[in-house]
Every structure is written in C-alpha cells, then in structure tokens.
C-alpha cells in the first residue's frame, strides 16, 4: 500500500515540490525540538557568567551550556531565532564550524547580534570556521600539497576527482555550507555586529577540536566594555 501511495505522489508532483515538502517537514520537526529546548532554557534564568558552546555536536564540553539542534545536549535550539537568555549573562560564546552553516547575512548577523546581546560587557566570542582563503590560493597557485591533504584527510568522496571538485566541496559541503569566510570577511562581519578587539588567534587544545586544526580560521572578539 505504501508503495502505491509513494508512486502516486511521484506521478502527481514534480521533484521540486517533493523537495520543498521534505524541507517543510524538516523545519516543522526542528521547530518542535527547538520549542522544547526553549522551555528547558528556563533553568538558566538566574544564571550568570554562562559559557555557551554553540553547535557542539557530539563534542560536549564540561562546564559549558552545550547547544545544538540535532544532537543530544543541554539545549537543542534553532539559533536562527532569538536566544532564550537574558541580556549580559554570558562570559564567553564559542562556536566551532557553525557560522558557515547560517545563511548570510540574514541568519548569521542575527545570530552574532544575539551573541553580542547575551555577552557581558568585555565578554569574549571565539569563532572557528573553515579557512576559505587556503583552497582559493591553492587552486590559483596549483598547490598540490593542499589537494593531497584534502584527498587523504578530509574529502574521501568518490566524486571528488578534480581540484575544483575539492574547492566546491569546501564551499558547499553537500549544501550544508551556506557562506564562506576568510579573516577579512569574518572580521568585517563581527565588526558590523558590534564587536571590537577583533583578531586572529591560534589553535587552542583546551577548546578546539584537534581534527579541525588544519584548515581552520580562529578569530576572537569582544563585546565593548560599556562601563565608564
């Protein structure tokens, strides 16, 4: 019976309509999960000096509020929406390989301004993203070392056969990457959101994932200190 229903749907709809319907169903599921997470966030109503780990995946950090949408963690939240925290309650926000998954500028700027809102004056944000300058330079300069590393370490997909295949995978990641950043772009985005003291940083073994050390861009910034 289910096979007949499926075949009937296929006959009566276009591929685009089926894809749009699938996306709508996914968004409805995410809405349900995020609403539950927002209710759970009430436990932090009186908290101060929170450390928010955004997009934690399976890499949960002790002593942090680990936040993701799809993974089991303290809070499952859709971070395209407002954060369920009061103003100036966080000492630090950390996001590793998360920002590139947000649509820019609509969702990315909203997220960064929410980070600014919840951070205390002088609070720190640490953003880690794929370094998009590296593959572009490698492609233009015929840097075989980058593509050798890409083949051996990161992109083992059988459809990555050419250098441009690897560049496309870096920028698109199967449709999951929605924007690319180099330092100039990320610094400008953070400045536009209201952050100051923006600068590159080094890999921090106490925070950052070792497997992402090669090929990542590390940037830190602060919420301005509003005290006189």
What digits encode the pLDDT tens for the residues 60-98? 999 999 999 987 899 999 999 999 999 999 999 999 999
- Name the β-bridge partners of 128: 96, 218
Q: Nearest Cα to 78, choosing from 104, 97, 54, 53?
A: 54
- pLDDT, greater one: 12 or 43: 43
CB of 52 within 8 A of CB of 92?
yes
Q: What is the pTM of this model?
A: 0.90
Residue matched to tokens 């590390």: 218
- List the structure tokens of 94: 């950390």
DSSP 161-191: -SHHHHHHHHHHGGGT----B-HHHHHHHHH
pLDDT tens for residues 115-152?
999 999 999 999 999 999 999 999 999 888 888 877 77
* Residue 8 in this model has a pLDDT that exceeds 80: no
CB of 121 within 8 A of CB of 223?
yes
Q: What are the distances in angstroms from CA 183 to CA 41, 134, 149, 180? A: 33, 11, 22, 10
* Residue 48 in this model has a pLDDT that exceeds 50: yes
Average pLDDT, the chain: 89
CB of 190 within 8 A of CB of 198?
yes
Give the architecture-level CATH label for domain 40-130+180-222. Answer: 3-Layer(aba) Sandwich (3.40)
Q: Nearest Cα to 37, choosing from 97, 1, 7, 81?
A: 81
Give the DSSP letter of residue 37. Answer: H
Give the DSSP letter of residue 152. Answer: I
Residue matched to tokens 């369920």: 84
Return the pLDDT at 3.
67
- Check the CA dihedral 185-188-194-196 and report its sign: positive
In the chain, CATH 3.40.50.150 sits at 40-130+180-222
Residue 111 sits at φ, ψ, to 5 deg, of -60, -45
Return the pLDDT at 153.
67
* Residue 50 in this model has a pLDDT that exceeds 90: yes
């Amino acid at each position: 019976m289910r096979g007949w229903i499926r075949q009937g749907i296929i006959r009566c709809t276009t591929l685009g309509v089926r894809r749009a319907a699938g996306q709508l169903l996914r968004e409805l599921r995410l809405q349900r999960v995020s609403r539950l997470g927002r209710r759970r966030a009430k436990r932090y109503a009186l908290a101060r000096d929170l450390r928010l780990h955004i997009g934690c995946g399976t890499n949960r950090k002790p002593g942090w509020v680990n936040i993701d949408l799809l993974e089991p963690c303290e809070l499952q939240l859709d971070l395209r929406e407002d954060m369920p925290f009061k103003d100036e309650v966080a000492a630090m926000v950390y996001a590793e390989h998360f920002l590139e998954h947000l649509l820019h500028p609509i969702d990315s700027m909203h997220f960064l301004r929410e980070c600014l809102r919840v951070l205390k004056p002088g609070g720190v944000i640490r953003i880690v993203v794929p370094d998009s300058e590296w593959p572009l330079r490698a492609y233009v300069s015929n840097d075989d070392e980058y593509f050798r590393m890409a083949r051996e370490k990161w992109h083992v997909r059988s459809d990555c056969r050419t250098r441009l295949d690897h560049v496309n995978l870096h920028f698109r990641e199967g449709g999951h990457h929605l924007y690319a950043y180099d330092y100039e772009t990320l610094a400008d985005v953070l400045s536009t959101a209201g952050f100051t003291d923006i600068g590159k940083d080094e890999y921090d073994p106490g925070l950052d994932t070792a497997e992402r050390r090669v090929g990542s861009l590390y940037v830190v910034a602060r919420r301005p200190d509003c005290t006189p």
